[in-house]
């Protein structure tokens, strides 16, 4: 199991106890290291497969992890996204925690946002609608309620697409509309799971009994809400392995922050830290450019940058090309791609990466004109495309009744059967000319044909029914097949992928960094975005920019400042000095480990009336047996319930997310007079004490609540 791992990867694989932080540079084999870690633990009998939960951020990455674990003999390990794992738990525990049926989950919230805007009489164009939706998503993952949005957005330096107060109203209307329609969104899945695990200790303990060991990939991308969920999964344990690279933090606009990764040793002083810097993906020339980009970086992430060391043979130097205008740039890239394909480079091993999706159209047309097949990444999800759904129905019917289908009479194996069925759906052996919808439909069907070839090669004797089952499994995991064409993708969508040849286009001021990146933090994230693009390339890298947008336009653009000192004939801008961190292992010393918070043994909870040991979560919250006499102030309890209803309406959350009935009963029974007394009541966590403490104490004292606090 450990053969073929380098010394640092081996350290990751064998460090199975206590907190472990893996700082993994681009292309350093982090997925290999963590899957071998899990498989080694399982094969050695140290880890039970069903007790391991590995979480990452995309369905594709989770699917890849599951596949690798199966190959390594570690079946039964749960590898999921945060949302998938939370949704599974929410569906299971909803009847016990809430009762009744779980609300319907909406997979796209943009229509709900549009309806909320219409209800307020607010007109939003397409771009504003998308941007307001993004602000709502950011608010929820950072646990910001509607009333707090203007302050939180200003503090985070966000460029609001509308007046912040107006967005707060839209956000509140959106939450009201969801409640009226009895639906929840993806962020609610995390929020509700967190709420249940916080307030129902019995359910939290059941989850913790199931999962004993956690692995988190892409840890630099966790949001505050995801970190809160992870903390609740862990409880008071520390069997946690996190993997990430602060230099690849490119999703801060969604609420992601590298602080959890960078502060890991602060929170876990006894942690083992392993640094992976041996780059097995890119040539030395590409790695040199990537290291040069980060050498000029500033800020906290730059303080923890990793100096990559290529393990591949030498390759060609990166090519820098200047064009007069954007159409000329696209035509130049398409011409070079055509030449590469003609000399044997597979189209699927070439990518064109750009900063914004609006840049893709020019390259789609240029590639179509050059007769180059392509696929758009980050567009509509593959299995949601109408042509793919229709193809699935046709294939399922053929699998059931193929004996009566004349189309299949001469089909002798799986690929020929799939080609025969899909020919009735519009697939042809040659792609249609030009670009647009017809070409996109053909590319979708061609991906299914190619998947059939791959499956037949991997599993001789595979049947059409097996192929349909494979499609169903992939659809559930959103694990799309590979299209045999050049990939067109934004830099954000390219994260986690790699190609032999990468064309980075539009590397000009105003695009990289983008015009609206103004603060130092925003500029540095743009630099990291370019770094991610550079490190997608294995062998060849082309960087280009245009002096004007359109033919005949003023040539007033200049190459990106990030290339200063890296492209021929330029000098570097002033940046950081000194090399980044090299490979190595850092272990928490006994001295630093002693600083870690001590895990205290929980004393058994006892009834404050009869003294019996309590085991039921509800009784523990009341601190008395259910049948022991209650001295609850009924009037106080009703006032607390009325106050809770107001808070829940303001925050757009269910009542129990403020306080459960049991917690309100406990408050009404003890009638706390100080924050310390209130904090001793089970269910009153520090976060809720900060948000609601003043109001609750005022109500207990017979006063009107004076704050305007709302929940988070």
Concatenated DSSP letters of 453-516? HHHHHHSTT--HHHHHHHHHHHHHHT-PPPPSSEEEEETTTTTT--EEEEEE---BTBBTTBTT
Total length of the chain: 712
d(CA 10, CA 206): 33
d(CA 200, CA 616): 10
Strands 20-24 and 240-244: parallel
Mapped onto helix, strand or coil, the DSSP state of residue 540 is: strand
Closest CA to 249 of 518, 492, 488, 84: 492
Alpha helices in 44-109 (DSSP H): 59-71, 82-97
Q: Using an 8 Å Cβ cutoff, are 473 and 330 in contact?
A: no
Q: How far is CA 581 from its chain centroid?
A: 26
Q: Please state, as a whole number, how many other Cβ atoms lie within 10 Å of the Cβ of residue 241.
A: 26
Cis amide prior to 339 (ω within 30 degrees):
no
> For the CA atoms of 160, 165, 168, 173, what is the dihedral angle to 10 degrees?
-120
Backbone angles phi, psi at 390, to 5 degrees: -65, -40
Would you say 27 is a known binding-site residue? yes
DSSP E strands, 217-373: 240-244, 272-276, 278-279, 309-310, 319-325, 350-354
Q: Using an 8 Å Cβ cutoff, are 217 and 79 in contact?
A: no
Would you say 615 is a known binding-site residue? no
Would you say 30 is a known binding-site residue? yes
Place of tokens 């336009």: 553
CA torsion sign for 281, 282, 284, 288 is: negative
d(CA 659, CA 176): 19
d(CA 706, CA 31): 52
Task: Output b/e per residue, 639-665; b: 16+ Cβ within 10 A.
Answer: bbeebbeebbbbbbbbebbbbbebbbb
Mapped onto helix, strand or coil, the DSSP state of residue 607 is: coil
Question: Between vectors from CA 270 to CA 265 and to CA 276, what angle results, nearest 5°?
Answer: 60
Would you say 582 is a known binding-site residue? no
d(CA 6, CA 437): 47
Tokens standing for 18?
A: 């206590």
Q: Using an 8 Å Cβ cutoff, are 290 and 47 in contact?
A: no
Place of tokens 């349909």: 468
Mapped onto helix, strand or coil, the DSSP state of residue 264 is: helix
Would you say 29 is a known binding-site residue? yes
Q: Using an 8 Å Cβ cutoff, are 491 and 354 in contact?
A: yes
Which are the contacts of 388, defined by CB distance < 8 A and separation ≥ 6? Answer: 382, 444, 445, 448
Tokens standing for 482?
A: 């590979």
Q: Using an 8 Å Cβ cutoff, are 663 and 691 in contact?
A: no
Q: Using an 8 Å Cβ cutoff, are 64 and 54 in contact?
A: no
Would you say 552 is a known binding-site residue? no
Element containing residue 661 per DSSP (H, E): helix 661-670
d(CA 621, CA 681): 7
Alpha-carbon radius of gyration of the chain: 28
- Write out the binding residues: 24-31
- Write out the binding residues for ATP: 24-31
């Amino acid at each position: 199991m450990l053969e073929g791992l380098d010394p640092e990867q081996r350290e990751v694989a064998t460090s199975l106890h206590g907190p472990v932080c893996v700082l993994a540079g681009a292309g350093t084999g982090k997925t290999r290291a963590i899957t071998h870690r899990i498989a080694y633990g399982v094969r050695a009998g140290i880890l039970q497969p069903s007790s391991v939960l590995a979480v990452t951020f995309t369905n594709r990455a989770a699917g890849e992890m599951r596949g690798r674990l199966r190959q390594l003999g570690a079946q039964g390990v749960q590898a999921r996204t945060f949302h998938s794992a939370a949704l599974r738990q929410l569906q299971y525990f909803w009847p016990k925690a809430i009762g009744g049926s779980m609300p319907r989950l909406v997979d796209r919230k943009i229509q709900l946002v549009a309806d909320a805007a219409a209800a307020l009489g607010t007109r939003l164009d397409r771009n504003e609608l998308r941007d307001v939706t993004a602000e709502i998503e950011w608010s929820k993952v950072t646990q910001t309620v509607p009333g707090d949005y203007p302050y939180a957005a200003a503090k985070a330096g966000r460029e609001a697409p509308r007046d912040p107060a107006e967005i707060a109203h839209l956000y509140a209307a959106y939450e009201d509309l969801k409640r009226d329609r009895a639906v929840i969104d993806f962020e609610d899945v995390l929020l509700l799971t967190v709420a249940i695990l916080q307030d129902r200790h019995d359910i939290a303990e059941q989850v913790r009994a199931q999962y004993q060991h956690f692995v988190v990939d892409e840890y630099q991308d966790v949001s505050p809400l995801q970190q809160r969920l992870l903390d609740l999964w862990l409880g008071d344990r520390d069997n946690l392995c996190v993997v990430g690279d602060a230099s690849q933090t490119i999703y801060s606009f969604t609420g992601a922050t590298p602080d959890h990764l960078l502060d890991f040793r602060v929170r876990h002083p006894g942690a083992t830290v392993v640094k992976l810097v041996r780059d097995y993906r890119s040539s030395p020339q590409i790695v040199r450019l990537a290291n040069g980009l980060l050498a000029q970086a500033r800020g906290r992430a730059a303080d923890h940058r990793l100096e990559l060391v290529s393990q591949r043979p030498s390759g060609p130097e990166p090519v820098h090309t200047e064009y007069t205008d954007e159409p000329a740039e696209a035509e130049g890239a398409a011409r070079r791609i055509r030449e590469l394909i003609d000399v044997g480079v597979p189209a699927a091993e070439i990518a064109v990466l750009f900063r914004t999706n609006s840049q893709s159209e020019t390259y789609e047309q240029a590639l179509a004109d050059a007769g180059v097949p392509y696929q758009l990444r980050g567009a509509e999800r593959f299995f949601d495309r109408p042509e793919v759904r229709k193809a699935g129905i046709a294939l399922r019917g053929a699998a059931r009744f193929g004996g009566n289908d004349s189309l299949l009479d001469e089909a002798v194996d799986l690929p020929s059967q799939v080609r025969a069925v899909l020919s009735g759906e519009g697939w042809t052996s040659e792609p249609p000319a030009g670009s647009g919808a017809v070409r996109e439909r053909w590319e979708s069907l061609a991906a299914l044909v190619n998947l059939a070839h791959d499956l037949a090669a991997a599993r001789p004797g595979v049947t059409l029914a097996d192929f349909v089952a494979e499609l169903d499994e992939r659809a559930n995991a959103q694990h799309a097949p590979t299209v045999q064409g050049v990939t067109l993708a934004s830099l954000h969508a390219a994260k986690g992928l790699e190609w032999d040849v990468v064309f980075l286009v539009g590397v000009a001021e105003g695009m990289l960094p983008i015009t609206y990146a103004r603060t130092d933090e925003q500029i540095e994230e743009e630099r990291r975005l370019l770094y991610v693009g550079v490190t997608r390339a294995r062998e060849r890298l082309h960087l280009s920019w245009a002096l004007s947008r359109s033919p005949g336009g003023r040539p007033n653009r200049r190459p990106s400042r990030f290339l200063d000192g890296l492209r021929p004939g330029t000098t570097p801008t002033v940046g950081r000095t000194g090399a980044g961190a090299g490979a190595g292992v850092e272990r928490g010393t006994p001295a630093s480990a002693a600083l870690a918070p001590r895990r205290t043994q929980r004393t058994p909870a006892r009834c404050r009336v009869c003294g019996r040991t309590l085991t039921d979560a509800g009784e523990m919250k009341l601190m008395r047996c259910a049948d022991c006499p209650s001295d609850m102030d009924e009037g106080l309890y009703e006032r607390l319930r009325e106050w809770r209803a107001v808070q829940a309406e303001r925050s757009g959350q269910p009542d129990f997310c403020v306080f459960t009935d049991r917690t309100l009963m406990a408050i009404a029974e003890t009638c706390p007079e100080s924050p310390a007394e209130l904090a001793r009541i089970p269910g009153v966590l520090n976060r809720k004490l900060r948000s609601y403490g003043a109001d609750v104490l005022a109500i207990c004292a017979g006063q009107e609540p004076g704050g305007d606090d709302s929940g988070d």
